[in-house]
């Protein structure tokens, strides 16, 4: 696969940073395989350029003796959208709900925050019933792999499709003058190796890098 081209928007639309290439077709069947390297190159690199990012969600647990441990909850495809006013923000939430129902792919969202003085909503998405590839740990007697198996949450073509459609759906609602400090990944993290690391770290197979 070649990395798809995506057209630049003119005037005010150019600032909205909206993905404009074609989404993959609907995915059928469960569990859905994790992204392959070809799929990563084809879809994820343009998504990164449009402020989508892969994040590892963790949860701190306080043990009985008072010490803390960090538990990995998964890896998500995520983006923060900014809106000029609360009306646009609430309209966007309704659009997100309608897209979730249409795609039968329900994301979580966190809102109510402010980003450079604008209303901000962060959308993390992953496929809960996904199938990771085979890893060396599967046959090495690892205490992690046999217990969790290969049917685990992950980033799949379902999430890529949802991300592209969501960007296009919200194109007319997001702020025409986006915040300067929108969360984003560094360009040196736009690699297949880093993506694999984050997917593994999200399951606790590796320690997340700084």
pLDDT of 25: 94
Opening angle at CA 46, ends 188 and 12, nearest 5: 110
Which of helix, strand or coil describes residue 194? helix
Half-sphere exposure of 181 (CA within 13 A, CB side): 5
Phi-psi region of 51 (alpha: psi -120 to 50; beta: other; left: phi over 0): left
Domains of the chain plus CATH, in order, are 28-201 (3.30.1360.20)
Strand order in the sheet with 68-83: 53-62, 68-83, 118-125, 110-115
pLDDT of 117: 66
pLDDT of 8: 33
pLDDT of 10: 32
Rounded distance between C-alpha atoms, residue 156 and residue 54, angstroms: 12
More confident residue, 119 or 21: 119
Segments in 63-191 forming alpha helices (H): 86-103, 145-148, 157-169
Taking residues 106-124, what's their average pLDDT? 75
Of 66-70, 94-98, 189-193, 197-201, least confident by mean pLDDT is 66-70
Structure tokens at 178: 């986006």
Q: 7-48, pLDDT tens digit by residue?
A: 333 334 444 455 557 899 999 988 999 999 999 999 998 899
Rounded distance between C-alpha atoms, residue 32 and residue 155, angstroms: 9
**Residue given tokens 């701190």 in the structure block:** 60
Taking residues 77-87, what's their average pLDDT? 90
Q: 144-167, pLDDT tens digit by residue?
A: 554 468 899 999 999 999 999 999
């Amino acid at each position: 696969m070649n990395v798809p081209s995506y057209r630049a928007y003119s005037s005010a639309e150019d600032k909205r940073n909206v993905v404009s290439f074609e989404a993959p077709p609907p995915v059928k069947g469960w569990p859905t395989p994790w992204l392959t390297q070809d799929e990563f190159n084809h879809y994820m690199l343009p998504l990164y350029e449009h402020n989508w990012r892969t994040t590892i969600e963790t949860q701190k647990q306080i043990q009985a003796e008072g010490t803390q441990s960090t538990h990995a909850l998964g890896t998500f495809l995520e983006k923060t959208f900014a809106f000029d006013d609360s009306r646009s923000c609430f309209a966007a939430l309704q659009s997100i709900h309608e897209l979730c129902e249409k795609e039968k792919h329900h994301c979580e969202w966190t809102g109510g925050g402010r980003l450079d003085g604008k209303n901000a909503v962060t959308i993390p998405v992953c496929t809960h019933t996904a199938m990771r590839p085979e890893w060396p740990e599967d046959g090495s007697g690892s205490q992690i792999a046999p217990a969790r198996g290969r049917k685990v949450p992950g980033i799949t073509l379902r999430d890529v499709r949802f991300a592209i459609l969501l960007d296009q759906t919200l194109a007319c609602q997001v702020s025409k003058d986006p915040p300067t400090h929108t969360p984003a990944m560094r360009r040196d993290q736009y690699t297949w190796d880093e993506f694999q690391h984050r997917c593994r770290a999200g399951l606790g197979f590796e320690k997340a890098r700084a």
